[in-house]
Amino acid sequence: MGEYEQREEEVALPFDPANTANDGSVIFIGKVRSEWTSRPDCPKNLVQARERGHGAKVEVFEPYLEGLIGLEKFSHAYIVYWMHQARRDLIVQYPRFKDMPTGTFALRSPVRPNPISLAIVKILSIDAKEGIIEIDAIDCLDGTPLLDIKPWFDSVDNVKI
């Protein structure tokens, strides 16, 4: 938690969800495998991750392997993961790239009441027997716990601006 210190003008909740959250529980179904092993080295978003040119993998634990049946029909998927190292109590944050304090729900920061992150990634290959999915890029640390994989649909998930 030490890496996520509270800066001036940032606002913390009067309680810490890390200690009080009990409305539902998650189970880790796998791990994200990336080239990034420390926070300073980790890209800030998927665009940066793609620019740096390393691929990444998603590892699905054994009990869940059958859940991958049919995923090979999709070009892209949502990867949903749990930012287990992030503090959860900052509701207003002041990232260095912003010119004013900004609400957590207007940021993609890992720091949020529920540290759930997501990325839409390109599927490069699937080894359903080993539970390994190769993807084009990811912006989280190696070993980040996996919560879910969802197929991506052009009709539902693409925004026509």
Q: Give the binding site for its own copies (CB under 8 A).
A: 11, 13-15, 17, 20-29, 45-47, 60, 63-64, 66-71, 73-78, 80, 82, 84, 91-92, 100-108, 112-116, 118, 120, 145, 147-159, 161
How do strand 30-33 and strand 145-151 relate by DSSP bridges?
antiparallel
Q: How far is the CB of 42 from its own copies (least distance, A)?
A: 15
CB nearer to its own copies: pick between 55 and 83: 83
Q: How far is the CB of 94 from its own copies (least distance, A)?
A: 11
CB nearer to its own copies: pick between 71 and 142: 71
Measured between alpha carbons, how far is 102 from 29 in angstroms, rounded to an integer? 32
Measured between alpha carbons, how far is 31 from 59 in angstroms, rounded to an integer? 5
CB nearer to its own copies: pick between 37 and 114: 114
Q: How far is the CB of 35 from its own copies (least distance, A)?
A: 19
Q: How many CB atoms lie within 10 A of CB 95?
A: 14
Q: How many CB atoms lie within 10 A of CB 42?
A: 19
For residue 138, which of 27, 53, 38 has the smallest C-alpha distance? Answer: 53
Q: How far is the CB of 122 from its own copies (least distance, A)?
A: 8
Measured between alpha carbons, how far is 29 from 14 in angstroms, rounded to an integer? 32
CB nearer to its own copies: pick between 55 and 111: 111
CB nearer to its own copies: pick between 37 and 48: 48
For residue 154, which of 108, 120, 118, 117 has the smallest C-alpha distance? Answer: 120
Give me the residue label for tokens 């003008």: 9
Q: How far is the CB of 87 from its own copies (least distance, A)?
A: 14
